[in-house]
Structure 1
């Protein structure tokens, strides 16, 4: 296995190709920093794009949900999918309207999801809890038999993937540099706030 994903017709970036990054570590970091992905697929010619929680173990991307989910049923039956995770890092304010932009990190993964067996399902769900909060799965009640049976876990092997990243200041035309307007980047940060405890009374 190389350090980079192979460029394919699906993952080749055509628009501003210099922002493309096929490095595995870059793709993994973008996926891991996200809490929700958008999964695009089609059923009977009708396209859908549905947000859902995701997590990664090695070169495998996982999603989960109810057995009755249209998303999971379609993907479990072999529908091709594209998965996107995007982080917006800042608004790029230029001196001209045309050169306004955003700073972002995005990752696209293409492939087909497959249902996992029971052992992998348990390991994957444990890993998901560890992503939510390291060590939490050892503190909470795990799924009982009915909850486990009602949950579908799908896995996608990450073979076709690409990242696209923009960073830095605006790229104004030289002729616009004298325009008397503020230009630069307004950073956007995603961070945890102060925890809010659940005040429900404990069972007797």
Structure 2
């Protein structure tokens, strides 16, 4: 009999194993990467001289490597520049859950935690490519249409790369889940779905009258879910990069 090969997954140990409600934990690449690619903002946690910090920043993924950027003078990037342990986290909030007791109030969510050694990207070619994808990952092909980045702007921007050594996704999609004896209580309960939806574009007031919205923004239309737009932009950007 032939066996079905297991899906590629990240190693599981005490660092990334989901401790509580372990059935909500996922470690396979497909789930982890899908949730990462559907997000723009992450939080990076690290320690400086014994003091924990957590910094929100834009990020993007290439294979099993995560990139983020910031000012060359920032505390976060200075601390991570030599290969420091870091944790990058992403959360998608899907609902607020009102139950019949305080203990069972909850939220539906999809989250990811990634662990690795964060290092400053020092190779000029890798940094140049990363600064292109910093924009094109969200808006495919846009960098080629922009004013060229100056040498000083490049020096002022630092890029960090972190190979994912361990990762776990945790998903709750349960809605209202009360104790069985509580369902008969005369107490209102419900699930409040939460979505991040793209609003109507607001063009810059100083645009010349003959400048139109460009093709790199095709994914970002009013009323569309942001995570769907980000996921599609990611796929298109890296398909274009592979062809190039």
Aligned partner (choices 117, 134, 140) of residue 134 of structure 1: 140
Number of residue-to-residue matches in the alignment: 202
Equivalence for 1:19: 24
Deviations 1:124-172 (A, max 9, x none): 1212212221221122223111111211111000121110010022211
Structure 1 unaligned residues grouped into runs of 5+: none
When residues 179 and 159 of structure 1 are mapped into structure 2, their CA distance, relative to the original with a 3 A threshold, is same
Q: For the residues of structure 1 that align with 2:110 and 2:14, how far apart are their CA atoms?
A: 21
Does residue 53 of the first structure (1) align with residue 54 of the second (2)? no
TM superposition score normalised by structure 1: 0.94
Match 1:7 to one of 9, 12, 22: 12
User: Secondary structure of 1:129's match?
Assistant: helix
Coordinate RMSD, CA, aligned: 1.5
Structure 1 residues 42-51 or 140-149, which shifts more? Answer: 140-149
Aligned to 1:95: 100
CA contact (8 A) 2:97 2:190 kept: yes
- How far apart in 1 are the matches of 2:188 and 2:147? 54
Q: Match of 1:159?
A: 165
Instruction: Please identify runs of 4+ aligned residues in structure 1 that moved more than 6 A.
Output: none
- Taking the aligned partners of 1:100 and 1:154, their CA distance within structure 2 comes to 38
Structure 1 residues 7-30: Cα deviation after superposition (integer angstroms, max 9, x where no partner): 022101111111110011111111
What is the TM-score of this pair, normalised by structure 2? 0.79
